[in-house]
Amino acid sequence: MLYYLFNYLNKLDFPGAGMFSYVSFRAILTFVLALLISTLIGSKFIDFLKCKQRFEIQRDASIDPFGIAKQGVPSMGGLIIILAIIVPCLLLGKLHNTYMLLMLVTSVWLGAVGFTDDYIKMFKKNKEGLKGKYKLIAQIGLGLIVGLTLYYAPDVVMRENIEVNRNRETNTIEVVHSSQNIKSTKTTIPFVKGNNLDYTDAFAWVKDSEWKRKFGWALFVFVTIFVVAAVSNGANLNDGMDGMAAGNSAIIGVALGILAYVSSHLGFASYLNIMFIPGSEELVIFICAFVGALIGFLWYNAFPAQIFMGDTGSLTIGGIIAVLAIVIHKELLLPILCGVFLVENLSVILQTRYFAYGKKRGRTQRIFKRTPIHDHFRTKDLIEGCTYMITTPHKVFHESKITVRFWIITIILAALAIITLKVR
């Protein structure tokens, strides 16, 4: 809204109004505003929930080797994050930009799903919360909205890097992009020369080019649904320690912000030999709000937590990360960038399958002491009669140490994900 106001004032030669035309200025302002909103309303929201006695028991002291029982800590802190994201974007973003609208829809959509889950847990006193099938349906619905919007929206286009010229005298490489904006099912893939993978290549056997293109888009929509569900669930599983999910997601957000910016800049896109995506600079505004909101939330969520984000927050931030990566055609970088989320997901899946396999044979067996994997490092007690595949390290760690180490791992993975664009 402010963007349009100052854009109008700039036409009237109002002093300083032209600054709002710069992405860098709006991005910094958005970050600061999101940080302030998240920090300032956090304490009042915590007091409100305590007054209403809406608490979530995350775990007993018996589980934690240090005897830390987190009782009487309010949840649903994800509402703080969502509000701190949406308000700055509405004020400073271009609301006619399809990418910005998609990110706002994602925030509200998954925020509503997570809120419903937390509401059932806290107000209806049902520990199971929203049934998993309904969460999955909502994630599939969002995936369809994102995929079909990217397919039908006329302004969702890209310019492919089509020619590489090497200057032998200066030993430099120049990438020439297509002069035409086109709709494409291509995506960036790491470690591969050319850096592009086209989903239509999976249907090389289809001779009709139009049907081949349609099949490629259908595969893209399917991948979108899968990525949204996987990353949002991964973020949800990662939210088990104070500051864990918020810190990891903020780091991932910074990396995605860098990728969004270079994808929107023809010079940087040429240097990195990646596709140029006109209009994606508006995602930088959104991601600055996202990172600012998470850092502000960490003020209250860092150990010892005064509030938990709940599914309202974890499902939302996971979905935001997934959709943002998809719209800038970087979804195949997520296994690296979101490696922590991936390992959290895999640890639960493997533990469940291995336990079920042993149960059929009358054995009690587990791979890890506890899952998700971060709980493995803070658990000291083993179940009597149960065999474990991995019991190391035998030493247990305080959750703040585990959290910081997971942050460090995410920083390394984020740097690696960006570096892969030049390693091929």
Residue 197 backbone dihedrals phi, psi, to 5 degrees: -130, 130
Domain limits for position 300: 25-158+203-335
Residue 216 placed within a domain = yes
Reference 37, options 3, 75, 73, 86; nearest CA is 86
| Amino acid letter, residue 105 | V
Give the pLDDT of residue 15.
Answer: 79
Q: Which long-range contacts (CB under 8 A, 24 or more apart) does 211-216 make?
A: 213/185, 216/185
pLDDT tens digits, one per residue of 277-311: 988 999 999 999 999 999 999 999 999 889 999 99
Residue 63 placed within a domain = yes
Residue 345 placed within a domain = no
Q: How many CB atoms lie within 10 A of CB 95?
A: 14
Task: Answer yes or no: are the C-beta atoms of 362 and 352 closer than 8 Å.
Answer: no
Q: What is the mean pLDDT of residues 168-191?
A: 71
Report whether pLDDT(186) > 70. Answer: yes
User: Bridge-partner residues for 53, per DSSP?
Assistant: none
How sure is the predictor about 3, in pLDDT bands with cuts at 50, 70 and 90? confident
Residue 407 placed within a domain = no
Q: Rounded CA gap, 164 and 358, in Å?
A: 55
Give the pLDDT of residue 166.
Answer: 60
Residue 174 belongs to what H/E stretch? strand 172-177
**Percentage of the chain exceeding pLDDT 70:** 90
Residue 192 placed within a domain = no
How sure is the predictor about 11, in pLDDT bands with cuts at 50, 70 and 90? confident
172 SS3 class: strand
pLDDT tens digits, one per residue of 233-253: 999 999 989 999 999 999 999
If you search the block for the tokens 């009358």, which residue do you land on? 362
Report whether pLDDT(158) > 90. Answer: no
Residue 243 placed within a domain = yes
Residue 408 placed within a domain = no
Dihedral of CA 46/49/55/58: which sign? negative
Please count the structural domains in the chain. Answer: 1
CA distances for 231 relative to 103, 226, 291, 334, 419, angstroms: 15, 9, 17, 9, 21
Q: What is the mean pLDDT of residues 174-185?
A: 70
